[in-house]
Structure 1
Protein backbone atom coordinates (compact mmCIF):
# COMPACT_ATOMS: atom_id res chain seq x y z
CA UNK A 1 0.00 0.00 0.00
CA UNK A 2 1.37 3.30 -1.08
CA UNK A 3 -1.38 5.58 0.26
CA UNK A 4 -2.67 5.07 3.80
CA UNK A 5 -5.42 7.06 5.47
CA UNK A 6 -5.89 7.58 9.20
CA UNK A 7 -9.21 8.24 10.87
CA UNK A 8 -8.92 8.95 14.59
CA UNK A 9 -11.45 9.14 17.38
CA UNK A 10 -11.78 12.84 18.09
CA UNK A 11 -10.18 13.95 21.35
CA UNK A 12 -8.26 10.73 22.00
CA UNK A 13 -4.58 11.59 22.72
CA UNK A 14 -3.59 7.90 22.56
CA UNK A 15 -5.00 7.72 19.02
CA UNK A 16 -2.99 10.80 18.01
CA UNK A 17 0.20 9.26 19.46
CA UNK A 18 -0.40 5.96 17.67
CA UNK A 19 -1.25 7.86 14.49
CA UNK A 20 2.16 9.52 14.62
CA UNK A 21 3.81 6.11 15.06
CA UNK A 22 1.89 4.73 12.07
CA UNK A 23 2.91 7.77 10.04
CA UNK A 24 6.61 7.24 10.81
CA UNK A 25 6.28 3.52 10.01
CA UNK A 26 4.54 4.22 6.68
CA UNK A 27 6.93 6.95 5.58
CA UNK A 28 9.91 4.68 6.32
CA UNK A 29 8.39 2.21 3.85
CA UNK A 30 7.80 4.78 1.14
CA UNK A 31 4.08 5.29 1.70
CA UNK A 32 2.14 8.54 1.68
CA UNK A 33 -0.10 9.07 4.70
CA UNK A 34 -3.20 11.18 5.10
CA UNK A 35 -5.13 12.05 8.25
CA UNK A 36 -8.80 12.98 8.21
CA UNK A 37 -9.51 16.37 9.74
CA UNK A 38 -9.99 17.47 12.47
CA UNK A 39 -7.12 15.21 13.58
CA UNK A 40 -3.66 16.68 13.24
CA UNK A 41 -1.05 13.93 13.13
CA UNK A 42 2.68 14.46 12.76
CA UNK A 43 3.99 13.92 9.19
CA UNK A 44 0.50 13.37 7.75
CA UNK A 45 -1.23 15.43 5.13
CA UNK A 46 -4.47 16.64 6.72
CA UNK A 47 -7.50 16.36 4.42
CA UNK A 48 -11.26 16.71 4.85
CA UNK A 49 -12.69 13.34 5.90
CA UNK A 50 -15.06 13.20 2.92
CA UNK A 51 -12.10 13.44 0.48
CA UNK A 52 -10.07 10.69 2.15
CA UNK A 53 -11.66 7.81 0.23
CA UNK A 54 -10.38 9.11 -3.11
CA UNK A 55 -6.77 9.37 -1.92
CA UNK A 56 -6.06 6.06 -0.18
CA UNK A 57 -5.47 2.33 -0.68
CA UNK A 58 -6.04 1.43 3.01
CA UNK A 59 -7.86 3.15 5.85
CA UNK A 60 -6.61 2.63 9.41
CA UNK A 61 -9.23 3.53 12.01
CA UNK A 62 -8.04 4.35 15.53
CA UNK A 63 -10.99 4.43 17.90
CA UNK A 64 -13.97 2.31 18.73
CA UNK A 65 -17.01 0.89 17.05
CA UNK A 66 -18.57 4.33 16.47
CA UNK A 67 -15.44 5.52 14.67
CA UNK A 68 -15.44 2.32 12.61
CA UNK A 69 -19.06 2.83 11.56
CA UNK A 70 -18.24 6.41 10.58
CA UNK A 71 -15.31 5.10 8.51
CA UNK A 72 -17.56 2.64 6.68
CA UNK A 73 -19.94 5.48 5.79
CA UNK A 74 -17.02 7.61 4.56
CA UNK A 75 -15.66 4.85 2.31
CA UNK A 76 -19.13 4.13 0.93
CA UNK A 77 -19.16 1.85 -2.10
CA UNK A 78 -15.39 1.85 -2.64
CA UNK A 79 -13.54 -1.39 -2.01
CA UNK A 80 -10.89 0.24 0.16
CA UNK A 81 -9.89 -2.08 3.02
CA UNK A 82 -10.52 -0.75 6.52
CA UNK A 83 -8.31 -1.81 9.43
CA UNK A 84 -9.96 -1.03 12.77
CA UNK A 85 -7.76 -0.66 15.87
CA UNK A 86 -9.46 -0.72 19.27
CA UNK A 87 -8.45 2.29 21.36
CA UNK A 88 -10.49 1.49 24.46
CA UNK A 89 -13.93 -0.03 25.12
CA UNK A 90 -15.27 -3.37 23.98
CA UNK A 91 -14.44 -3.23 20.27
CA UNK A 92 -16.82 -5.55 18.43
CA UNK A 93 -15.90 -3.95 15.09
CA UNK A 94 -12.41 -2.75 16.02
CA UNK A 95 -10.99 -6.06 17.18
CA UNK A 96 -7.31 -5.39 16.42
CA UNK A 97 -5.25 -4.37 19.44
CA UNK A 98 -2.45 -1.83 19.33
CA UNK A 99 0.10 -4.62 19.91
CA UNK A 100 -1.19 -6.49 16.84
CA UNK A 101 -1.19 -3.45 14.56
CA UNK A 102 2.34 -3.21 13.16
CA UNK A 103 2.84 -6.95 12.47
CA UNK A 104 -0.53 -6.91 10.71
CA UNK A 105 0.39 -3.83 8.65
CA UNK A 106 3.59 -5.63 7.60
CA UNK A 107 1.59 -8.67 6.46
CA UNK A 108 -0.93 -6.57 4.57
CA UNK A 109 1.80 -4.51 2.92
CA UNK A 110 3.94 -7.46 1.87
CA UNK A 111 1.33 -9.97 0.81
CA UNK A 112 -1.90 -8.07 0.37
CA UNK A 113 -3.54 -10.35 2.93
CA UNK A 114 -7.13 -9.74 3.75
CA UNK A 115 -7.97 -9.92 7.44
CA UNK A 116 -11.50 -10.14 8.79
Structure 2
Protein backbone atom coordinates (compact mmCIF):
# COMPACT_ATOMS: atom_id res chain seq x y z
CA UNK A 1 0.00 0.00 0.00
CA UNK A 2 1.20 3.50 -0.80
CA UNK A 3 0.93 6.02 2.04
CA UNK A 4 1.26 9.77 1.62
CA UNK A 5 1.85 12.02 4.63
CA UNK A 6 0.73 15.65 4.89
CA UNK A 7 2.25 17.37 7.93
CA UNK A 8 1.38 20.62 9.70
CA UNK A 9 4.85 22.15 9.97
CA UNK A 10 3.65 24.53 12.70
CA UNK A 11 3.21 21.62 15.12
CA UNK A 12 6.60 20.43 16.47
CA UNK A 13 5.12 17.14 17.72
CA UNK A 14 3.95 16.28 14.22
CA UNK A 15 7.35 17.11 12.71
CA UNK A 16 9.14 15.04 15.37
CA UNK A 17 6.90 12.04 14.75
CA UNK A 18 7.34 12.02 10.97
CA UNK A 19 10.76 10.27 10.68
CA UNK A 20 9.78 7.43 13.04
CA UNK A 21 6.43 7.04 11.28
CA UNK A 22 8.09 6.68 7.88
CA UNK A 23 10.59 4.11 9.22
CA UNK A 24 7.76 2.12 10.83
CA UNK A 25 5.72 2.04 7.61
CA UNK A 26 8.71 0.91 5.56
CA UNK A 27 9.43 -1.82 8.12
CA UNK A 28 5.89 -3.02 7.43
CA UNK A 29 6.80 -3.27 3.71
CA UNK A 30 4.69 -0.23 2.86
CA UNK A 31 5.62 2.59 0.49
CA UNK A 32 5.57 6.08 1.98
CA UNK A 33 6.13 9.58 0.62
CA UNK A 34 6.12 12.98 2.29
CA UNK A 35 7.13 16.52 1.37
CA UNK A 36 10.72 15.95 2.56
CA UNK A 37 11.19 13.41 -0.26
CA UNK A 38 11.08 16.13 -2.92
CA UNK A 39 14.08 18.22 -3.86
CA UNK A 40 14.07 21.71 -2.35
CA UNK A 41 12.87 24.28 -4.87
CA UNK A 42 11.70 21.68 -7.41
CA UNK A 43 8.03 22.54 -6.81
CA UNK A 44 6.02 24.74 -4.48
CA UNK A 45 4.30 23.26 -1.43
CA UNK A 46 0.89 22.94 -3.09
CA UNK A 47 2.36 21.18 -6.13
CA UNK A 48 4.29 18.79 -3.90
CA UNK A 49 1.18 17.93 -1.92
CA UNK A 50 -0.76 17.25 -5.12
CA UNK A 51 2.04 14.93 -6.23
CA UNK A 52 1.89 13.14 -2.87
CA UNK A 53 -1.84 12.57 -3.37
CA UNK A 54 -1.21 11.28 -6.90
CA UNK A 55 1.34 8.72 -5.64
CA UNK A 56 -0.71 7.53 -2.65
CA UNK A 57 -3.51 5.09 -1.90
CA UNK A 58 -4.06 6.48 1.61
CA UNK A 59 -3.28 9.93 3.00
CA UNK A 60 -2.15 10.46 6.60
CA UNK A 61 -2.81 13.97 7.91
CA UNK A 62 -0.58 14.93 10.85
CA UNK A 63 -1.89 18.00 12.66
CA UNK A 64 -5.44 18.85 13.63
CA UNK A 65 -8.78 19.50 12.01
CA UNK A 66 -7.28 22.40 10.06
CA UNK A 67 -4.68 20.09 8.55
CA UNK A 68 -7.26 17.53 7.53
CA UNK A 69 -9.35 20.28 5.92
CA UNK A 70 -6.30 21.38 3.93
CA UNK A 71 -5.63 17.75 2.97
CA UNK A 72 -9.23 17.32 1.83
CA UNK A 73 -8.87 20.38 -0.41
CA UNK A 74 -5.87 18.79 -2.14
CA UNK A 75 -7.37 15.29 -2.37
CA UNK A 76 -10.50 16.76 -3.97
CA UNK A 77 -12.28 14.67 -6.57
CA UNK A 78 -9.80 11.77 -6.30
CA UNK A 79 -11.68 10.85 -3.09
CA UNK A 80 -8.66 9.02 -1.70
CA UNK A 81 -9.17 8.06 1.97
CA UNK A 82 -7.68 10.20 4.71
CA UNK A 83 -6.53 9.20 8.21
CA UNK A 84 -6.45 12.22 10.48
CA UNK A 85 -4.01 12.17 13.42
CA UNK A 86 -4.78 14.74 16.08
CA UNK A 87 -2.09 17.08 17.38
CA UNK A 88 -4.55 19.94 17.77
CA UNK A 89 -7.20 20.83 20.34
CA UNK A 90 -10.77 19.61 19.79
CA UNK A 91 -10.22 17.36 16.78
CA UNK A 92 -13.71 16.42 15.61
CA UNK A 93 -12.36 15.16 12.27
CA UNK A 94 -9.00 13.78 13.40
CA UNK A 95 -10.30 10.80 15.31
CA UNK A 96 -6.92 9.06 15.81
CA UNK A 97 -4.72 10.17 18.70
CA UNK A 98 -0.93 9.69 18.59
CA UNK A 99 -1.15 6.85 21.13
CA UNK A 100 -3.50 4.97 18.76
CA UNK A 101 -1.65 5.69 15.52
CA UNK A 102 0.35 2.51 15.02
CA UNK A 103 -2.50 0.24 16.10
CA UNK A 104 -4.79 1.98 13.61
CA UNK A 105 -2.20 1.74 10.84
CA UNK A 106 -1.94 -2.02 11.38
CA UNK A 107 -5.70 -2.23 10.85
CA UNK A 108 -5.50 -0.16 7.67
CA UNK A 109 -2.72 -2.33 6.24
CA UNK A 110 -4.86 -5.47 6.61
CA UNK A 111 -8.00 -3.69 5.45
CA UNK A 112 -9.77 -3.66 8.81
CA UNK A 113 -11.23 -0.16 8.77
CA UNK A 114 -14.33 1.75 7.76
CA UNK A 115 -14.83 4.69 5.41
CA UNK A 116 -17.00 7.54 6.62
CA UNK A 117 -18.21 9.66 3.73
CA UNK A 118 -18.59 13.40 4.30
CA UNK A 119 -20.02 15.65 1.60
CA UNK A 120 -18.38 19.01 0.87
CA UNK A 121 -20.06 22.05 -0.64
CA UNK A 122 -19.29 23.42 -4.08
CA UNK A 123 -19.16 27.19 -4.39
CA UNK A 124 -19.29 29.17 -7.61
CA UNK A 125 -18.14 32.76 -8.10
CA UNK A 126 -17.55 34.38 -11.49
CA UNK A 127 -17.41 30.94 -13.11
CA UNK A 128 -14.72 29.62 -10.76
CA UNK A 129 -15.43 26.71 -8.43
CA UNK A 130 -14.23 26.16 -4.89
CA UNK A 131 -14.96 23.48 -2.32
CA UNK A 132 -15.46 23.42 1.44
CA UNK A 133 -15.79 20.43 3.76
CA UNK A 134 -16.60 22.62 6.78
CA UNK A 135 -17.94 25.92 5.54
CA UNK A 136 -17.93 28.91 3.27
CA UNK A 137 -17.81 32.24 5.10
CA UNK A 138 -18.57 35.70 3.79
CA UNK A 139 -17.38 38.32 6.29
CA UNK A 140 -16.92 42.05 6.43
CA UNK A 141 -13.57 43.42 5.30
CA UNK A 142 -11.15 45.63 7.15
CA UNK A 143 -13.82 48.18 8.07
CA UNK A 144 -15.82 47.59 11.25
CA UNK A 145 -19.26 48.37 9.84
CA UNK A 146 -21.84 45.67 9.15
CA UNK A 147 -22.44 44.26 5.69
CA UNK A 148 -25.80 43.60 4.08
CA UNK A 149 -26.30 40.31 2.24
CA UNK A 150 -29.35 39.02 0.38
CA UNK A 151 -29.98 35.27 0.53
CA UNK A 152 -32.09 33.25 -1.89
CA UNK A 153 -32.76 29.50 -1.96
CA UNK A 154 -33.68 27.99 -5.32
CA UNK A 155 -34.52 31.48 -6.48
CA UNK A 156 -36.87 32.18 -3.54
CA UNK A 157 -36.02 35.19 -1.40
CA UNK A 158 -35.19 34.18 2.20
CA UNK A 159 -33.90 37.27 3.99
CA UNK A 160 -31.56 40.23 3.88
CA UNK A 161 -29.01 39.99 6.67
CA UNK A 162 -27.39 42.99 8.31
CA UNK A 163 -24.52 41.35 10.12
CA UNK A 164 -20.77 40.80 10.31
CA UNK A 165 -21.23 38.04 7.74
CA UNK A 166 -22.87 34.71 6.95
CA UNK A 167 -21.67 31.11 7.26
CA UNK A 168 -22.82 28.33 4.93
CA UNK A 169 -21.86 25.12 6.72
CA UNK A 170 -22.11 21.38 6.22
CA UNK A 171 -23.00 19.00 9.06
CA UNK A 172 -19.23 18.39 9.31
CA UNK A 173 -18.76 22.13 9.82
CA UNK A 174 -21.62 22.40 12.30
CA UNK A 175 -19.15 21.89 15.18
CA UNK A 176 -16.82 24.63 13.90
CA UNK A 177 -17.35 28.37 13.29
CA UNK A 178 -21.12 27.96 12.87
CA UNK A 179 -21.39 26.47 16.37
CA UNK A 180 -19.58 29.43 17.93
CA UNK A 181 -22.10 31.74 16.22
CA UNK A 182 -25.10 29.91 17.65
CA UNK A 183 -25.63 27.35 14.90
CA UNK A 184 -26.96 23.83 15.62
CA UNK A 185 -24.89 20.67 15.94
CA UNK A 186 -25.91 18.33 13.11
CA UNK A 187 -24.95 14.66 12.82
CA UNK A 188 -22.56 14.04 9.89
CA UNK A 189 -24.87 11.75 7.91
CA UNK A 190 -27.71 14.31 7.81
CA UNK A 191 -27.98 15.76 4.30
CA UNK A 192 -28.58 19.42 5.05
CA UNK A 193 -26.79 22.75 4.75
CA UNK A 194 -26.77 25.33 7.56
CA UNK A 195 -26.98 29.08 7.12
CA UNK A 196 -25.72 30.91 10.20
CA UNK A 197 -25.50 34.72 10.40
CA UNK A 198 -22.47 36.18 12.19
CA UNK A 199 -23.47 38.72 14.87
CA UNK A 200 -26.72 39.82 13.17
CA UNK A 201 -28.15 43.23 14.03
CA UNK A 202 -31.54 41.70 14.78
CA UNK A 203 -32.39 39.50 17.75
CA UNK A 204 -35.01 37.55 15.77
CA UNK A 205 -32.50 36.48 13.12
CA UNK A 206 -31.64 32.82 13.65
CA UNK A 207 -29.75 30.06 11.79
CA UNK A 208 -31.65 28.16 9.11
CA UNK A 209 -31.31 24.57 7.93
CA UNK A 210 -32.04 23.63 4.29
CA UNK A 211 -32.10 20.32 2.38
CA UNK A 212 -28.74 19.73 0.74
CA UNK A 213 -30.37 19.50 -2.71
CA UNK A 214 -31.12 23.24 -2.60
CA UNK A 215 -28.98 25.91 -4.23
CA UNK A 216 -28.19 28.91 -2.04
CA UNK A 217 -27.16 32.28 -3.46
CA UNK A 218 -25.71 35.15 -1.42
CA UNK A 219 -25.50 38.63 -2.88
CA UNK A 220 -23.62 41.53 -1.33
CA UNK A 221 -26.21 44.32 -1.16
CA UNK A 222 -24.15 46.97 0.57
CA UNK A 223 -20.76 47.28 2.19
CA UNK A 224 -18.17 50.00 2.73
CA UNK A 225 -15.43 47.49 1.98
CA UNK A 226 -15.13 44.31 -0.07
CA UNK A 227 -16.24 41.37 2.10
CA UNK A 228 -13.97 38.33 2.03
CA UNK A 229 -15.02 34.88 0.90
CA UNK A 230 -13.22 31.92 2.48
CA UNK A 231 -13.48 28.15 2.16
CA UNK A 232 -12.53 26.14 5.25
CA UNK A 233 -10.68 29.16 6.59
CA UNK A 234 -8.69 29.77 3.40
CA UNK A 235 -9.20 32.98 1.45
CA UNK A 236 -10.92 32.53 -1.92
CA UNK A 237 -11.83 35.99 -3.16
CA UNK A 238 -13.22 39.42 -2.31
CA UNK A 239 -16.84 40.24 -3.13
CA UNK A 240 -17.97 43.63 -4.39
CA UNK A 241 -21.40 45.19 -4.13
CA UNK A 242 -23.92 43.35 -6.32
CA UNK A 243 -21.79 40.23 -6.80
CA UNK A 244 -23.33 36.82 -6.15
CA UNK A 245 -21.84 33.65 -4.68
CA UNK A 246 -23.76 30.37 -5.10
CA UNK A 247 -23.47 27.15 -3.09
CA UNK A 248 -24.68 23.62 -3.79
CA UNK A 249 -23.78 20.07 -2.80
CA UNK A 250 -20.55 18.80 -4.31
CA UNK A 251 -20.59 15.84 -6.68
CA UNK A 252 -17.89 14.01 -4.72
CA UNK A 253 -17.34 13.00 -1.11
CA UNK A 254 -14.43 13.26 1.32
CA UNK A 255 -13.61 9.80 2.66
CA UNK A 256 -12.38 9.67 6.24
CA UNK A 257 -10.85 6.50 7.67
CA UNK A 258 -12.36 5.23 10.92
CA UNK A 259 -10.56 2.49 12.87
CA UNK A 260 -12.44 2.65 16.17
CA UNK A 261 -16.03 2.08 17.23
CA UNK A 262 -16.45 5.61 18.58
CA UNK A 263 -19.78 7.12 17.59
CA UNK A 264 -20.34 10.79 16.79
CA UNK A 265 -22.01 11.09 20.19
CA UNK A 266 -18.99 9.57 21.93
CA UNK A 267 -16.83 12.22 20.26
CA UNK A 268 -19.23 15.02 21.23
CA UNK A 269 -19.26 13.94 24.88
CA UNK A 270 -15.47 13.69 24.98
CA UNK A 271 -14.68 16.90 23.11
CA UNK A 272 -17.40 19.10 24.65
CA UNK A 273 -17.17 17.54 28.13
CA UNK A 274 -20.87 16.75 28.25
CA UNK A 275 -21.97 15.25 31.55
CA UNK A 276 -18.90 16.52 33.38
CA UNK A 277 -18.94 18.98 36.27
CA UNK A 278 -16.48 21.56 34.95
CA UNK A 279 -17.09 24.07 37.70
CA UNK A 280 -13.97 25.12 39.55
CA UNK A 281 -13.46 23.58 42.98
CA UNK A 282 -11.81 26.78 44.19
CA UNK A 283 -13.77 28.23 47.08
CA UNK A 284 -15.86 25.12 47.64
CA UNK A 285 -16.30 23.94 51.22
CA UNK A 286 -15.45 20.39 52.17
| TM bracket (short chain) | 0.7 to 0.9
Partner residue, 2:175: none
Runs of 4+ in 1 over 3 A off after TM superposition: none
Distance 1:103 1:83 in 2: 13
Distance 1:91 1:112 in 2: 22
Partner residue, 2:23: 24
Distance 1:33 1:111 in 2: 17
Query: CA RMSD, aligned part only?
Result: 1.5
Deviations 1:87-110 (A, max 9, x none): 121111112100111001001101
Q: How does 1:1-116 map to 2 (within 5 A)?
A: 1=1, 3-36=2-35, 40=36, 45-46=37-38, 48-114=48-114, 115-116=257-258
1:90 and 1:8, CA in 2 relative to 1: closer, same or farther beyond 3 A? same
Distance 1:7 1:103 in 2: 19
* Count of residues in Structure 1 that have an aligned counterpart in Structure 2: 108
Deviations 1:70-99 (A, max 9, x none): 000110111311000001211111121001
| Higher helix proportion | 1
**Structure 2 spans left out of the alignment, 5+ residues:** 40-47, 115-256, 259-286
Distance 1:74 1:29 in 2: 27
Kept in 1, the 8 Å contact 2:9–2:15? The answer is no
**Structure 1 spans left out of the alignment, 5+ residues:** none
Q: For 1:80, what is the secondary structure of its paired residue?
A: coil
Distance 2:111 2:10 in 1: 34
Deviations 1:33-75 (A, max 9, x none): 1113xxx3xxxx2371121111001100000111100000110
